[in-house]
Amino acid sequence: MTGRLPNFCFIGPDKAGSTWLHEVLIRRPDVFLTPAKDLYFFDRYFDRGVDWYAHQFAGARPEHKVVGEVCQDYLFHPEAARRMRRTLGPDVRLMVTIREPAARAFSSYLYMLKQGQQPGTFREALDGRPELLEHGRYGSALRRYLDQFDRSCLHVSVFDDLVDDPQAFVTAVVDWLGLAPFTLDASELGARLPASQARSKVLARVARGMADWARENDRAGAVGVVKRSALTQRLLYRRLEERPRLGAGEAAYVRAALEPEIVEVEQSFGVALRERWGWPTAP
């Protein structure tokens, strides 16, 4: 086996700060993250074997106290938790960032538009793209991880904390990881991309297809380098001229569908999410 296996994974969900977290942590001298987010080993590519996975971390050195990856889809794959326990052991540290489900689903919808996809209106997309709701089923997903790992292995953060105070958010993460605290610089504090759309739907589809091909053909590192390029962002995307807005009725629809999932997270982890998000709750 070439390379160390991770002792840390961010497992999801999507549209909850995973790119920002990856870009902040990868700069730290005591952290080794794979250059590309989303190796997808524990969901799509588990058949490549543990030696392939370990090779992705061949660059890790003794000074790297944390070795890990960021993959937003592990949270929802039905076999990922069991595979991670078997491969990484019972003590690996797993991080989840909970985002208000309607806002998360709508952000994912905007990403579809950015990629040049045509999912229709948000309400139509909720019916036609089941992952928009499925990736808000936090309670069911976390239950699978609690079946495999001790509660102390899971760091459940809230996306609102990242938005309100990025420094406090990342300080809590590095404290949980046992790393020395650090101060975010101006670029890290402001590393949020505005909502954008593809300059060319054809180019966006080609770029996405090339990224999928690279991952299928074991070139994930190249994906990370290209995606982080400012030139890539300028060539492929532009600001949304008329950004869609999340309607109250659409938000209520998502809340009604996913409230039992949020209640389960509140009970399992002792966080008052509905109250924080302003959801009406029964007396």
Positive or negative torsion for Cα 194, 200, 201, 205: negative
Q: What is the pLDDT of residue 210?
A: 52
Q: What angle do CA 186, 188, 272 make, to 5 degrees?
A: 115
Does domain 8-277 fall under CATH 3.40.50.300? My reply is: yes
Going residue by residue through the chain, which has 283 residues, state the pLDDT in tens, using 9 for 90 and above.
667 899 999 999 999 999 999 999 999 999 999 998 999 999 999 999 999 999 999 999 999 999 999 999 999 999 999 999 999 999 999 999 999 999 999 999 999 988 888 899 999 999 999 999 999 999 999 999 999 999 999 999 999 999 999 999 999 999 999 999 999 998 888 655 444 444 444 444 554 555 554 555 565 665 555 555 544 555 555 555 567 899 999 999 999 999 999 999 999 999 999 999 999 876 5
Domain boundaries, the chain: 8-277
Q: What share of the chain is helix, strand, coil (3-state, %, to 5)?
A: 50, 10, 35
Q: How far apart are CA 245 and CA 106, in angstroms?
A: 9
Q: How far apart are CA 79 and CA 55, in angstroms?
A: 22
171 closest CA partner among 157, 187, 160: 157
Neighbours of 202 (CB within 10 A): 10
3-class state of residue 97 by DSSP: strand
Tell me which H or E stretch contains 93: strand 93-98
pTM of the model: 0.83
